[in-house]
Amino acid sequence: MADQLGQLLMTGVPGPVLDAQTAATFRRIQPGAFILFGRNIQTPSQLRKLCDDLRDVSDTPPIITIDQEGGRVSRLKLIGNEPPNANQLRDKDDAALITAHGRITGGLLRMFGFNLDLCPVLDISFDDEADNSLRGRCYGNDAAHVIRNATLFNDALRAAGALSCGKHFPGYSRCPADAHHELPTVPFSRADLDANELAVFMHFASPSSPSPVDSMMIGHAFYPSLDDTGVPTSLSRRVITDILRGELGFRGLVMTDDLDMGAILNPYGTGDSGMEQVIHRAITAGNDLAMICHRVEMVEKAHGYLAGVAQPELDRALANMAAFKAKLSPPEPWDEAEFIRRDAEVLKLRIDTLGAERGAERSPEDGKRSPVEVY
């Protein structure tokens, strides 16, 4: 069992090259998933090699994922064009363009060796200017609008061979603060949530959904009407096992949002004892995958802490990981010219969405690494 426990961890990678020490650590603990950020991206061919190297150190084909949404949350804009964001596609209100975005995104990711995209965002934008990390990232201002548009993207992405992840259950939509920095409290009643945030997630989580997501990311927030114990949603058995799995019927892979975010580090601390408690809580709550994006040095310790989780919870999580991995698509052959062609499709999509003048302009952040990467 010990040699399988790494399958329950998603880890970041320190830089653009897989150094010998990190490679040795990954070979030893065998993480089930890798997530890449701007720090990992320099050139198209370098990025493909990094993904190939991560597969080479893995005994079981790994999940290799990235946040490629559109707008500011688009890692690939560092080596190509920036796609329009969800708000811009929402405002254009053209189903064909949202479908094209999903198709183009899936094709680009497959070229680099990614097999999972951490989107679509299923949050509702009640306020486009709210300071809760969602600015520009939401497909609608109400549940029906989000369902319509996110379905178009989700279906096209999956048809292109990339698996999808709905986020951030049960919603950052009305968080009064950014979970990257602190744990927000969402005080609305269960009836209110059922009519809004949970209505969206129900659509994509239900076993009978015509457009299911393959995985679900659990956000870090405190929802008193869902679990009044003060535990963040990402560590709450009531939220994940009872509501997402039980009431909504979700059968796909479940992962935490990044456990390196302030919403978790502030209440539980940055030391070993805090990490041990968080890892135990994450898997026991019903997550199948614990995400550690930035403190890569903690991943090996997290691997050790997994041995203290009850065996039935480990068995459940490992079975769900294996079922998810059975759906992974292999990377497409690398072809620089084909990448250039597909990247040109991104620019065309941007122009078609924003207009010729605005679409041809590079965003102020286009091609730049952000000091704080939102996900």
Q: Which residues partner with 215 through β-bridges?
A: 165, 253
Q: What is the distance between the alpha carbons of residues 311 and 322, in angstroms, rounded to a whole number?
A: 16
DSSP at 289: B
pLDDT of residue 181: 84
The closest of 56, 54, 4 to 33, measured between CA atoms, is 54
The residues facing 127 across adjacent strands are none
Q: How buried is residue 165: exposed, middle or buried, by Cβ count under 10 Å (0-12/13-18/19+)?
A: buried
Q: Using CA atoms, how far apart are residues 173 and 30, in angstroms rounded to an integer?
A: 35
DSSP result, 196-254: THHHHHHHHHSTT-SS--SEEEEP--B-TTT-TTS--GGG-HIIIIIIIIIIS---SEE
Task: Say what the pLDDT of residue 259 is.
Answer: 93
Q: How far is CA 44 from the centre of its chain?
A: 21
- Tell me the C-alpha distance between 340 and 334, whole Å: 11
pLDDT at 373: 67
Which pLDDT score, from 0 to 100, does residue 269 have? 84
- Centroid of chain to Cα 2: 26
Which fold does the domain 8-360 belong to in CATH?
TIM Barrel (3.20.20)
CB of 331 closer than 8 Å to CB of 111: yes
Number of C-beta neighbours around residue 312 at 10 A: 9
Angle, in degrees to the nearest 10, between helices 336-354 and 44-56: 120
> pLDDT per residue over 240-293, tens digit each?
999 999 999 999 999 999 999 888 988 888 788 889 999 999 999 999 999 999
AA letter at 72: R
Token pair listed for 223: 């929802």
| CA gyration radius, the chain | 19
Check residue 367 and give its pLDDT.
54
Dihedral pair phi/psi, residue 214, rounded to 5°: -80, -25
Q: Position 93: which residue type? A: D
Domains of the chain, by residue range, sit at 8-360
Q: What pLDDT, in 10s, does the model give residues 284-329? A: 999 999 999 988 888 999 999 999 999 999 999 999 999 999 999 9
Contact (CB, 8 A) for 10 and 308: no
pTM exceeds 0.75: yes
pLDDT at 374: 61
Amino acid letter for position 266 = N
Q: 38-65: per-residue pLDDT in tens?
A: 999 999 999 999 999 999 999 999 999 9
Residue range 175-222, pLDDT digits in tens: 877 788 888 899 999 999 999 999 999 999 999 999 999 999 999 999
Per-residue pLDDT band for 358 (boundaries 50, 70, 90) equals confident
Q: Name the pLDDT band for 365 (thresholds 50, 70, 90).
A: low
The per-residue pLDDT of the chain, averaged, comes to: 93
Residue with tokens 């698996």: 163
User: Which of 84-93, 222-231, 257-266, 322-331 has the lowest average pLDDT?
Assistant: 257-266
Under 8 Å CB-to-CB from 271, ≥6 apart: which residues?
A: none
With the C-alpha atoms ordered 49, 65, 15, 6, is the resulting torsion angle positive or negative?
negative
